[in-house]
Amino acid sequence: MQKFIDLKNVATEKYQQISNKPRVRIGTDISGVAAGSIEISNEFAKHVSENNLDITLSHVGGFGLSYAEPLIDVEMPDGSRVFYSNVSLNNVKNIVDSHIINGNPLYDIAFAYTGNLTNTNNTPEFYELPENKLQKKILTENFGEIDPTDIYEYIANDGYSALAKALFEMEADEVHKEILDSKLRGRGGAAFPTGVKLGFLKGSDAKEKYILCNCEEGDPGAWNDKAILESDPHRLIEGLILAAIATNASNGIIFIRHGNDIPIERTKQAIKLSYDHGLLGENILGSNFSFDAEVVLVGESYVAGEETALMEAVEGKRAMPRYKPPFPAAFGVWGHPSNINNIKTIANLTSIIAKGSEWFTSIGTETSTGTAILCLSGNINKPGLYEIEMGTTIRTVIEDICGGIPNNKELKLLQTGGPLGGVLNSSKLDTSIDFDSMAKAGAILGSGGIIVADQDVDVIDLTRMLIAFCQFESCGKCFPCRLGNSHLLEILNRICGKTSTDSDIELMRKVGTNMQQGSLCGHGQLGFNPIKSALEYFKDDFDTALDTSIGEPNVTINIPTRANRY
């Protein structure tokens, strides 16, 4: 424990040094970079250098407010902070000259503020904004606050305190029981009880056991896995080690899709820093526990998100699901017992161990404890990433947090849980966002992506695009999925092309049933979901399309292939 206390003291001292001078935080997560934050950062650096200013210029993760990017946070030594949204290159010199040098914030272009400021010209208090006030931040509490590349900032903000607690104040069985008692369920889509799943690995006496963290995240409309890696990678590493303590695992693998450069670089750097400070490797923090972790990159395969396909990919093979049994806890990666969980699941362990299972179960619902990170995109006024308490209604998120639909248009549908999720209409706005309520409504929470569509969107064409994605991403190992998705796409092409017949709806249902019953993994088993829910909530749209068909089913259909993407 003394090694951690010494490390915490060093981190606190270094963090205090940062707080004693002006600090500019620039969000360089995926949303910020897409909006031009790197160029803004370079412009700030130029003016800071020209004026020989002693300030801290930090790249942080975003607050999740994609609509406000580039979002610049200027904090002065007295603790006051002013946030400037949608900052352009032309704004930078004025912010430096007026705010940083002369101490006069530019309230006329300010987005929000915190601290004891005057003459704010009705600029709102940042943490009172609905998009912040209505959130419940656990996994995202450090987003936009700390530099993800600085391990000392994480430690100074209570980082790795849960690890120290687990190593020196708890037994491995107590760590596992705390996870069990938290009722945490998997955040990757299946929602299986995490403590139970870890228990399968805990029961193995094998010397070499693996904890695998799935950050594949191929769902269109979801970027929360990447956001954790970009904004707070040490939270994941700490959670990974805690899972290892609970199961006596020896090795960890963080699986990231190739091409996500910022998450990859920050995670690799965080692992290196953890090794350098005795938080990974032999005898962590002077304890008797040892654990090694690494990042593994695998190609762009959506099916690699399935746990057994992930193991195949880690081993350098084509990402295709394995037959079960044997299950991963008995025969996993390279034949060693393994446990695989989503990044959000593992990252939650840090707070659970630090604050206790009783605290965690006080958040959310009886069967869906904790929070959910949602990614809102599409026809919405305030697209972004928001962490809400389980049990919050969809209406609260859409209307109160995200500001509703642009141009006073009506909401027509919500596409939830990725391409294997469901399509809901506006009658389901009062549905509670939790695993069971979403499933009952005919959708899934899945990865947390919610695509919002207004009255102008063609629901059949949207459904066709989802099925086209599923068809393209099928690994092809089992024919119910390989052929089923192709047949569904053929039928939807006919409906969209006004060449369908009355029997096509029933034909889709039969194909969907065969896929559900015969497919090897969730890709095929859930592949009919978008059509099933669309038929339930938008049957009139399909009936209208069938009524206007010319009845010529024998037409040329362009089927997407990996050589010719749809």
| Prior bond of 326 cis (ω within 30°) | yes
The residue assigned the tokens 């912010």 is 95
Tokens of 147: 């530099």
Range 327-332 average pLDDT: 95
| pLDDT per position as a tens digit, 364-423 | 999 999 999 999 999 999 999 999 999 999 999 999 999 999 999 999 999 998 889 889
Share of the chain above pLDDT 90, in %: 82
Q: Which of 127-131, 195-199, 219-223, 503-507 has the lowest mean pLDDT?
A: 219-223
CA dihedral sign, ordered 213, 377, 232, 395 = negative
537: closest CA among 425, 401, 406? 425
158: closest CA among 370, 408, 367, 355? 355
The answer to whether 140 and 387 have CB atoms below 8 angstroms apart is yes
| pLDDT per position as a tens digit, 415-457 | 998 889 889 999 999 999 999 999 898 888 888 999 999 999 9
Cβ neighbourhood burial of 556 (10 Å; 0-12, 13-18, 19+): exposed
Tokens of 5: 């206390």
Cβ neighbourhood burial of 355 (10 Å; 0-12, 13-18, 19+): middle
- Between strands 210-215 and 251-257, the pairing is parallel
DSSP secondary structure letter of residue 110: E
More confident residue, 101 or 121: 101
**Across the chain, what does the average pLDDT equal?**
93
DSSP secondary structure letter of residue 410: P
The answer to whether 40 and 73 have CB atoms below 8 angstroms apart is no
Q: Which of 209-213, 235-239, 301-305 has the lowest mean pLDDT?
A: 301-305
The answer to whether 280 and 241 have CB atoms below 8 angstroms apart is yes
Neighbours of 419 (CB within 10 A): 25
The answer to whether 300 and 475 have CB atoms below 8 angstroms apart is no
Share of the chain above pLDDT 70, in %: 97
Phi and psi at 309, nearest 5°, equal: -65, -35
478: closest CA among 515, 505, 504? 515
Q: What distance lies between CA 489 and its chain's CA centroid?
A: 28
**Helix locations, 36-171, DSSP H:** 37-50, 89-94, 130-133, 151-156, 161-168
Residue 186 pLDDT class (50, 70, 90 cuts) = very high
The answer to whether 260 and 222 have CB atoms below 8 angstroms apart is no
Q: Does the pLDDT value for residue 115 go beyond 70?
A: yes
Neighbours of 199 (CB within 10 A): 18
Which long-range contacts does 201-208 make (Cβ < 8 Å, 24+ apart)? Answer: 201/247, 201/249, 201/329, 201/337, 201/338, 201/339, 202/176, 202/246, 202/247, 202/248, 203/329, 204/329, 204/330, 204/337, 206/336, 206/337, 207/250, 208/250, 208/251, 208/336
Q: Does the pLDDT value for residue 143 go beyond 80?
A: yes
Q: Does the pLDDT value for residue 63 go beyond 90?
A: yes
Is the entire prediction scored with pTM above 0.85? yes
60: closest CA among 41, 43, 44? 41
